[in-house]
Amino acid sequence: MAFIKNAWYVACWGCEVKSGEMFHRKLLNEMVVFYRKEDGTAVALQDRCPHRFIPLHLGKIVGDSIECAYHGLTFDCSGKCVKNPHGDGKVPAAARVRSYPVAEKHGMLWIWMGSQAADPVTIPDYSVLESEAGFATSRGYLHIEANYELMGENLLDLSHITYLHDGYLGSPEQVGADQVLKEEGGKIHCNRWMPNISVPPIFDMVYRRDGKPVDMWTNMTWIPPSCFLLDSGVHEVGGKREDHGWYYGVHILTPESEKTVHYHFAAAMPPGTRMTPDEAAKFSALRRHAFEAQDKPIINAQQAAIGDNDFWEMKPVLLSVDAGPVRMRRAIERMTKEDVAIETPAVPIKVIRPAPASV
């Protein structure tokens, strides 16, 4: 299975790459090592020495470069070998590793693994996580043993919260919610509106703590290829958003392999939310519990059940709630095809024409 390479992906939270230390992770089936230059700028290099294929993260940082642990070849931040301590010291032309464009934005380290030019302007907007936005934020990470599309479907179709997250995010009347699907600028919005329902416990904590019915919404946006932003909340029946019972949920997926994915998530509560620090901590812990103890085992089990089979060849039964996920899947298929064409341009066939007959 191919991945969409010409896109920005979150490699890790920015704070995970500490000055003077290396951080390594497999992304889109490639091993990558991250470190910081002396001026603090993050660097991403292929994590495999071209000499005897030792992971570079086993070596050490020397200035702005990495020295391989095995025989001491040294690579600068562009991936070029700048020192061969052996023989005449000549550096073979092939002694280089790939350097990937990276950008730090919204507290995350983004990486571009395709061959086309990378423009940080196209990084999705998660500015609610910036301290200037004034939101109270919490963040987390999970490793999921499933393909990123399965996890993406879980996020885009939130009809599962009544069942899988019963007692946390779910309440029975959410079933049959009004669902509106919109596509614009390549994004898919999957909006659900649930008027006059019993308040899900986690939202009762964010809002009034009186257990009274509420109007609730979950508006999820997919930003290709694998970023999501949720706008979700409650207010009193017939009330208004300004009552501060809402938050933004950030959900970002980065494929590790065909059957594993890095899942970065965060929540951003707007200024004016009436929660004590203890309640805010409990809110984050409950969210994490829902993702880790409820979503993750289901999605892992789903991947195990699918195995190596093709999703469509298994003929999945489709329900009304699948409209968003199916559109997302189709868009990913289209984008993957286009991306593969960019990454592996067809070799033009040289046409040999017979010489014109001489007169």
Cβ-contact 56, 97 below 8 angstroms: yes
Number of residues this chain uses to bind ligand FES (CB under 6 A): 9
Q: What's the min distance (Å) between Cβ of 103 and ligand FES? A: 28
Q: Does residue 52 bind ligand FES (CB under 6 A)?
A: yes
Residue 71 CB, nearest approach to ligand FES (Å): 3
Choose from ligand FES, Fe ion, none: what does 73 bind? Cβ within 5-8 Å by kind: ligand FES
Binding mask 270-309 for Fe ion (x = CB under 5 A): -------------------------x--------------
54 binds ligand FES (CB under 6 A): yes
Q: Which is nearer to ligand FES, 43 or 73 (CB)?
A: 73
Contact string (CB under 6 A) for ligand FES, positions 30-49, x = contact: -------------------x
Q: Which of 57/192 has CB closer to ligand FES?
A: 57
Within a 10 A sphere around the Cβ of 63, how many other Cβ atoms? 12
Contacted by 295, from Fe ion, ligand FES, none: CB < 5 to 8 Å by type: Fe ion
- Report if residue 70 touches ligand FES, rule: CB under 6 A: yes
Nearest residue (CB) to ligand FES, 52 versus 182: 52
| Residue placing its CB nearer to ligand FES in the complex, 45 or 49 | 49
Cβ closer to ligand FES: 92 or 167?
Answer: 92
Which residues in this chain contact ligand FES in the complex, by CB under 6 A?
49, 51-52, 54, 68, 70-73
Q: Which residues bind Fe ion (CB under 5 A)?
A: 295
